[in-house]
Every structure is written in structure tokens, then in C-alpha cells.
Chain A
């Protein structure tokens, strides 16, 4: 039982990271109907920027909470610039082209970003000392002590804050309304005087900044990163978005959580080597029974 609770906590933490990345996939899919395969690499860039910022601020000797806050802002800002540029360079010129064109462009962009980081930062793994240490211990009398580290609490709380802000943004504000309008009918949205291109750009900026927060969490949680982390994390988050129902925001959050839990439970009880196999198998099985994911809306074509 204690062991299960421990895995549950680990799973929720991992699920938070996947969930934050998955939102970017699901939003971009919602608004321009394209899978942004470079999104995982945006996450990786976010991790690198966070690492650099953490080291820089770590040298100044400011108190840790302030450092974390500043790093968070800087990471979001810089990564958002990357996300925005990727959209401008690789996707916007292809808007109105056939469906596969931006998809290929996204794959290309993914490779470009990976190699760019490999060349500029080197191919070796980059370590970071644990910054947030310590934690709370439960069930101290039993054989297995459940530990909830402060870092895990930090990750989960930050995720909850960001996701609630984001939900308000999409459901309550005019920007969210414009985004939902673009999802449903881009031509009509523009005929109502809304700058559709700008709305799409903002979507990329928002998705990238959320992924960058996930990147920062990843650095803090695992302590090592390299230029290749974006691929697997990206594919997992994409799986999460599909599992929850691509295009659906609560779906992305749910999917992220599920993938995180499946992975940790499988590693904890069955075999750590096959955790990725487990995650993807669950995807395939789910899609057989729920072709649109758990919360996705079926796309009914009217005849």
C-alpha cells in the first residue's frame, strides 16, 4: 500500500510534466489542425534555457525562491520567442498549402532544433546539482517510508496554478474566445475583424511557454539533460494529447496524468525497461475502444 502511494505521487509529478507539454500539442492541433512535431524540441530548448539561467543566477547568490521565480520568467520568455519564430519561419509560409506540408516542415524543424542545440551546447549530458532538497515523510512506522519531496510539491502546485490560469484564459477571456473561434472557422473569424495570424502566433507562444516550464521542471527533477530529451518527452506528451482526445484541453491534462501514472506504475510493479512499451500499448488499446480519445469530440462529417 505504501509502495503504491509512493508510485502514485511519482506518477502525478511525471504526469504534470507531460500534461504541460501535451497542452501545446493539443492547442496547435485545435487551431490549425497540424501536429507540431517540433514541440518536444521546444520543451528541450526550455530545459536548456532553464539550466543556463539557473547556473547564472546560482552564481549571484540570491535566495532560492527568487532565483526560481526569475528563472521561470526568463525560461518562459525566451522559449516563447523560439516557439514564435518556429511558427513564423516554418509554418506560416505554408498555411493554405496541402495538409502534409507543415507536418514535414515540423519534422524538419525538430531536427534543426536538435542539431542547433547539439552544436551550440555540445553533445554531452549536462548535469545540475539538486537545488530543491528535502521532503516530507509519511508512514514512518512501516517498512516502506513514503517520501514526498519539496520538489515534487513544487512541480505539482506550479502545474495546478498554470493549468487553472490557462483554463480561465481559454474559457473566459476574449483571447480564448478568439482562439476557439479560429478553431471552428478561420475564414469567418477573420471576416469578423479578428487577426487570425496573430491569434495563431499567440497560441504558439502560449504552448511554448508552458512546454518551457515543463522543461525547467525536467531539469530540476532529473538533474541531467541532453539535446535528445525532447524526442521521447515529445512523443509521450503527444501520446497523452491523443489519449485525452486531441484538441481538448482537459483531455491533454488528463492524458498527461494517465501516461505519467502508467509509466511509474509499470516501472514500479513490472519492469522499468518496458515502461515506454507500456505507455504506447495503452495508447493503442485505448484508441481501439475510444477512437477520439477519452474527452475528444467525434468529428462527424455531414453528408
Chain B
């Protein structure tokens, strides 16, 4: 199987006179975690916004290998990013559906399959067998993920009532319910305590090893980045200043200068 998953080529994003991303090239592989780090305002989230169709890049290509073909992510916008290109993302702040139950949050992510099976819900109202089977499958899948994050006993509680750390994990498994090829996580460890953050590491390692998914991670928590990344891409002012393994990154002079400044 082809290992390469995402290839970002000369990506440039300009807002008027401001160049948020400047000729950025990097690649990410299947079953690996690629971290994007950099000081505030380096353009990390902008990269995600380009990948998930929020922004139309000024220039450059973003190529995703999917089932032996290569697709250009630029051509996908809106719901097609998740439905067709199979790219999922989370945000810096929690974006669960707080007034829905934990289980329902995971079922929403499987909407497209259910919608077809239920004949646009007509069979759903009539409660036909065909729909019931499909729904049972969807619930099974949701339960599988709830088991992994240990929230099975809270399946019927509202998602908004969960503790913060659990909400973070639920958000990640909800994204996994659309069976993404590429999972983009924007600061998943923000606001987590050390225990929760080590649980998050375990979850991400599980996804990386057991699912056919590549993970792209924006993170400021260096214990997460250094602990689980396979590759690190360092951005500063929209430019890539370094790329390498976590160990190499820690030693790199450019990275230290970007974070701490240069000695005069």
C-alpha cells in the first residue's frame, strides 16, 4: 500500500497584503502523526482552513491519496470535504452538539449512510427493517468508539454535561465516525490536565496504529507533540522553517530561535 497520504505543494494563502502562508510544502503519511507547530500567528490554523475548504488558497496544491487515486482537495468545499474527500477536523474550541446525547453526536457523523438506508427518513418513520438494521450497525460503531474512550455508560447523557476532557475525546471519535483518511486536530490537548493529556496520547496512538488514518496535529503542548509525533513541521510567519523528527526538532537552531528569539 502507498504510504504517502497528503502532499501539500507550494501552498500560498494571501489575505489582501498579508501572506498568511508562504509557499508551504510538506507531506503527511498514512498511519503517522504529523505535527504542525509554531509560534502564535504562524499560520497553522490557516493551513487547516485551506485543507478543509474554509479558505480557497491563493496558489498551490493539496493532494490527497485515496483508494489508489489522487484527489485535489481544492476542488472540495463544504460538506463534500467530509463526505467525498474523507477529511475530518476538530477546532480549537469544543464544537460538540451540546444538547444532543453522546450517542447521537456519534450518529450524526454517520448521517449519510443512514439517510440513504432510510430512504430520506420515510422508512425511518415507518420503522422498516432495512432502516433498523442499518441503524443498529451505526449504533454498534458508536458503541465501539465509546468503549475505547470509556464513555459507554454515559451514552445517553447530553454531550454538554460531560467533563471537558471527555468532550475533547468525544469530539475526536465523532470525527473518526466518518471514517476519515486524514484527521486534522487543532490543539486537542488545550486545557487538558496531565492525566487527560496522556489519555489523549493513547487515543491518538490507537487511531494511528489501528485505523487507516493519517493524523495532522496542531499543538502547543510539547509533551504531546514530542511524545507521539512521527514528523514535525515547524512554521513561522507562514513559512516552513524546519521539518524532521521530534528529536531533530528539539535540537534545531532555527526552531529555538523562532520560539525564543535570537541573542543580540
Given A169-B121, A180-B100, verify A174-B115 contact (CB < 8 Å): yes
Q: How far is the CB of B46 from chain A (nearest CB, A)?
A: 16
Q: Is the CB of B81 within 8 A of A169?
A: no
Closest to A181 in B: B108
Binds B, one of A39-47, A59-67, A118-126, A192-200: A192-200
- A165: nearest chain-B partner, CB-CB: B125
B174 contact set on A, CB distance < 8 A: 192
Q: Does B88 contact A (CB under 8 A)?
A: yes
Interface of A: prevailing SS: helix
Q: State whether A173 touches B78 (Cβ < 8 A).
A: no
CB distance from B212 to the nearest CB of A (A): 18
**B120 in the interface (beta carbon within 8 A):** yes
- The answer, yes or no, to whether B39 is at the interface (CB within 8 Å) is no
Our count of residue pairs bridging A and B at CB distance below 8 angstroms stands at: 88
Q: Which residue of B lies closest to A198 (CB)?
A: B79
B52 interfacial contact with A, CB 8 Å: yes
Against B, the Cβ 8 Å flags (1 = close, 0 = not) of A161-202 are: 000010011001111111011001101111111111000001
With A193-B81, A194-B112 known, 16 other A-B pairs at CB within 8 A are: A174-B107, A174-B124, A174-B135, A175-B121, A177-B108, A184-B99, A189-B108, A192-B82, A192-B88, A192-B108, A193-B79, A193-B82, A193-B111, A194-B79, A195-B78, A196-B78
CA distance A169 to B118 in the complex (A): 12
CB pair A192–B178 under 8 Å, yes or no, is yes
B100 neighbours in A (Cβ, 8 Å)? 177, 180-181, 184
- Cross-chain contact B111 with A169 (CB below 8 angstroms): no
Q: Binary interface profile of A, 141-152, with partner B (CB < 8 Å = 1, else 0)?
A: 000000000000
Q: Is B237 in the interface zone, CB < 8 Å from A? A: no
Task: Please give me the residue from chain A that is nearest to B112 by CB atom.
Answer: A193
- Residues on B with C-beta less than 8 A from A185 are 95, 97
Q: How far is the CB of A181 from chain B (nearest CB, A)?
A: 5
Q: Measured between alpha carbons, how far is A181 from B174 in the docked complex, in Å?
A: 13
Q: Which of B89, B111, B175 lies in contact with A177, CB distance below 8 A?
A: B111
Number of residues on chain B facing chain A (CB within 8 A): 31
Return chain A residues, CB-CB under 8 Å to B88: 191-192
Q: A193-B83, A194-B111, A196-B79 are in contact. Are A180 and B97 (CB under 8 A)?
A: yes
Flag if B89 contacts A191 (CB, 8 Å).
yes
Decide yes or no whether B98 CB sits under 8 A from chain A.
yes
Residue tally, chain A, CB below 8 Å to B: 25
A26 to chain B, nearest CB (A): 15
Residue of A nearest to B104 (CB): A177
Name the distance in Å between B47's Cβ and chain A's nearest Cβ. 16
Closest to A199 in B: B111
Contacting residues of chain B (63-118) with chain A, CB-CB under 8 angstroms: 78-79, 81-83, 88-89, 91, 95, 97-100, 104, 107-109, 111-112, 114-115, 118
25 A-B pairs with CB atoms under 8 Å apart are A168-B125, A174-B118, A174-B135, A175-B124, A177-B104, A177-B111, A178-B115, A180-B97, A180-B99, A181-B97, A181-B100, A187-B95, A188-B97, A190-B82, A191-B79, A191-B81, A192-B79, A192-B108, A192-B111, A192-B174, A193-B79, A193-B83, A193-B109, A193-B112, A196-B79
- Whether B114 lies near A174 (C-beta < 8 A) is yes
Q: Are B107 and A169 in contact (CB under 8 A)?
A: no
A185 to B115: give the CA distance in the assembly, Å.
19
> Using Cβ atoms and an 8 Å threshold, which residues of chain B touch A202?
120
Those 5 A-B pairs whose CB atoms lie nearest each other, nearest first: A193-B82, A173-B124, A193-B83, A175-B121, A174-B114
Which residues on A sit within 8 Å (CB–CB) of B115?
174-175, 178
Task: Report the Cα distance A168→B127, complex, angstroms.
Answer: 10
Given contacts A177-B108, A177-B111, A184-B98, contact A172 B82 (CB under 8 A): no
- Asked, given contacts A174-B115, A191-B81, whether A184 binds B97 with beta carbons under 8 Å apart, the answer is yes
- A-facing residues in B154-206 (Cβ within 8 Å): 174-175, 178
Instruction: Answer whether A169 and B125 are a contact pair too, CB < 8 Å, given A192-B111, A193-B111.
Output: yes
Bound form: Cα–Cα A172–B89 in Å: 27
| Shortest Cβ distance from residue B153 to the other chain A in the assembled complex, whole angstroms | 22
Give complex CA distance A54, B104 in Å.
43
